[in-house]
Amino acid sequence: MVIRIIISLLVYHAFLYYIGWNLWKGIKAFRPNLGKRWLFALSAVLLLAAWSMAFRFIFSEYAWAHWVGGVWLSFAYLMVLILPATNLAVLLLRLIKRIDRRRLTQSMTIIAAVLTLAVGGVGIHNAYSPVVREYSITIDKPALDGRQKMKIVMATDLHFGALSGPSHAKRLVRMINAQQPDLVLFPGDLVDDDIVQYVKQGIPEILRGIQTPVYASLGNHDRLEAGDTTLIRTLEDSGMNVLYDDVVSEGLPVTLIGRKDRTDPARMSVAQLVAEANPASPLILLDHQPYDLDLAAQAGIDLEVSGHTHRGQIFPANFITNRIYENDWGYLREGKMDSIVTSGYGFWGLPLRTNSRSELVVIDVRFAGGQ
């Protein structure tokens, strides 16, 4: 464990050195007479920024601490994404033809700056400008109240807190109410690791504006300490019905099954939960992490809704999620079960999405045998 931490810190600071070296070369190309004191100042700023991620845990009650960490992570990611390409371009151009080194460095510095602003701008837009994604499915069972169809709105990975704050929450409420759904589902990662900023930013009051019954399950970032019910009470105060290895059908056209997150060793299996339900009713499972879809299908689930993957959120993480999950985003038919995984409404760590878009999912459900 200690060795892994040391290796991780060494790799992290190697990236930091790489970023600092490039920044200094770019600055010196325009200001060649800058002395070493400016190099020391740049190094100090980078070191402080690199450790700013700890601020969000030390000063969790302050929104600025979350923003400082988020901005640094965004900048570091963009640098690691863009700088290797510009370094390679410099190397190739110098091999192909003789070019003045200083002028070449100046040009590549400008290109890197423009790319950083462009990619960062697109990433921010993708994070804070959610789209509506629609799916249509048919469940081969009659609804409990005999209806022929229903509309479900689903959003996961809200990560409400300092970065995904009041404006993003108000947008969610407006988008949900505009759909006029019959049911709203939030399958996990409702808060950003703790409820301090969730409460301080006034998110509970905002979410109470949703005009349709809301059912939620917990995710890996909805950290629930043993014996502590504060999180669930806070979410219920936000207008949610929290399903924590629970099965409900009273007053609903379907049976909802909400699982504890995969990180909770005490959670029940899908088969155990299904045993508590009427198998003749439409069974909808809220499971934050889309693992073991085959087991859910074998247990008799008709529709599983999940999130967690963020569809990678930032390039090239989408290739990783695609390898890990059978369905890392979108729709998949598993046996007789429909699986829908969303890229999420919010984001985690950094307020950027470079290969996915924040989204609200609308599921139009048709029932067989409806009156």
**Structural contact between residues 305 and 187, judged by C-beta atoms closer than 8 angstroms:** yes
Q: What pLDDT score does 225 carry?
A: 62
Whether residues 96 and 218 share a domain: the answer is no
Residues 313-323: pLDDT tens digits? Answer: 999 999 999 99
Q: Find residue 186's DSSP bridge partners.
A: 216
Whether residues 223 and 337 share a domain: the answer is yes
Q: What pLDDT score does 371 carry?
A: 47
**Structural contact between residues 259 and 273, judged by C-beta atoms closer than 8 angstroms:** yes
- pLDDT band for position 93 (cuts 50, 70, 90): confident
- pLDDT band for position 289 (cuts 50, 70, 90): very high
Structure tokens at 205: 């009051």
- Percent of residues, the chain, with pLDDT higher than 90: 75
Q: What pLDDT score does 360 carry?
A: 98
Instruction: Provide the domain limits for residue 100.
Output: 2-127
The more confidently predicted of residues 17 and 228 is 17
Tally the domains of the chain. 2
Residues 256-267: pLDDT tens digits? Answer: 999 999 999 889
Q: How far, rounded to the nearest angstrom, does the alpha carbon of residue 335 sit from its chain's CA centroid?
A: 28
Name which of 73, 76, 57 is nearest 65 in CA terms: 57
Whether residues 217 and 115 share a domain: the answer is no
Whether residues 243 and 155 share a domain: the answer is yes
- The residue-averaged pLDDT of 270-289 equals 96
Residue 194's alpha-carbon distances to 57, 61, 70, 100, 199, in angstroms, are 10, 10, 16, 53, 9
- The residue-averaged pLDDT of 19-44 equals 90
Whether residues 30 and 94 share a domain: the answer is yes
The more confidently predicted of residues 226 and 44 is 44
Lowest mean pLDDT among 93-102, 118-127, 251-260, 321-330: 93-102
Whether residues 27 and 155 share a domain: the answer is no
Whether residues 116 and 147 share a domain: the answer is no
Does residue 369 register a pLDDT over 70? no
Backbone φ, ψ for residue 267 (5° rounding):
-70, 155
Q: What pLDDT score does 228 carry?
A: 65
Q: What pLDDT score does 258 carry?
A: 97
Whether residues 72 and 159 share a domain: the answer is no
The CATH number given to whatever domain includes residue 302 is: 3.60.21.10
Beta strands in 176-239, from DSSP E residues, in sequence order: 183-187, 214-217
Whether residues 99 and 135 share a domain: the answer is no
- Averaged confidence pLDDT in the chain: 92
Q: What pLDDT score does 173 carry?
A: 98
Does residue 281 register a pLDDT over 50? yes
- pLDDT band for position 36 (cuts 50, 70, 90): confident
Does residue 66 register a pLDDT over 60? yes
Q: What pLDDT score does 86 carry?
A: 92
- pLDDT band for position 227 (cuts 50, 70, 90): low
Domain-terminating residue out of 76, 109, 127: 127
- Percent of residues, the chain, with pLDDT higher than 70: 98
Whether residues 122 and 140 share a domain: the answer is no
Whether residues 227 and 165 share a domain: the answer is yes
Residue 144, sorted as left (phi over 0), alpha (psi -120 to 50) or beta, turns out to be: alpha
Q: What pLDDT score does 193 carry?
A: 82
Domain-terminating residue out of 93, 127, 161: 127
Whether residues 111 and 222 share a domain: the answer is no
The more confidently predicted of residues 169 and 102 is 169
Domain-terminating residue out of 127, 155, 173: 127
Residues 113-155: pLDDT tens digits? Answer: 999 999 999 999 999 999 999 999 999 999 999 999 999 999 9
